[in-house]
């Protein structure tokens, strides 16, 4: 289970049933939004000189607190990158 899924589970946005992860509608949206914020801010910190790992670790502390709209503004400011420093797509498709 990914780290993000574990955190969503803690917040009650997803539930586990017989080993399967069930995302509620709100959970799915939250997953996409937090992922976008995470990857946007990771890109920013990486460009500011942090390593990928440092950037990831720091962003985990607040990615679930920042709005998607704010992260989208920062992405725009950075020239709308398609991927994070790990090469993952910033926008998760539905």
Binding site for Zn ion (CB under 5 A): 56
Q: Rounded to a whole number, what is the distance in angstroms from the first to the last CA of the chain?
A: 20
With CB atoms as reference, the residue minimizing the distance to Zn ion is 56
CB closer to Zn ion out of 14 and 56: 56
User: Nearest distance from residue 18's CB to Zn ion, in Å?
Assistant: 29
* Nearest of 38, 28, 48, 43 to residue 68 by alpha carbon: 38
User: Nearest distance from residue 51's CB to Zn ion, in Å?
Assistant: 11
User: Nearest distance from residue 31's CB to Zn ion, in Å?
Assistant: 14
CB closer to Zn ion out of 56 and 90: 56
* Nearest of 25, 3, 4, 24 to residue 14 by alpha carbon: 24
CB closer to Zn ion out of 40 and 56: 56
**If you ran DSSP here, which 8-state letter would residue 22 be given?**
E
User: Nearest distance from residue 35's CB to Zn ion, in Å?
Assistant: 9
Can you list the alpha helix ranges (DSSP code H) found in 1-94? Answer: 3-10, 25-47, 52-60, 68-77
């Amino acid at each position: 289970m990914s780290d993000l899924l574990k955190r969503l589970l803690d917040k009650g946005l997803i539930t586990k049933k017989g080993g399967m992860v069930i995302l509620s509608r709100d959970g799915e949206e939250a997953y996409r939004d937090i992922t976008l914020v995470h990857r946007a801010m990771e890109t920013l910190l990486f460009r500011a000189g942090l390593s990928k790992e440092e950037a990831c670790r720091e962003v985990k502390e607040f990615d679930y607190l920042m709005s998607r709209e704010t992260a989208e503004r920062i992405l725009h400011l950075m020239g709308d990158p398609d991927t994070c420093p790990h090469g993952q797509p910033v926008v998760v498709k539905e």
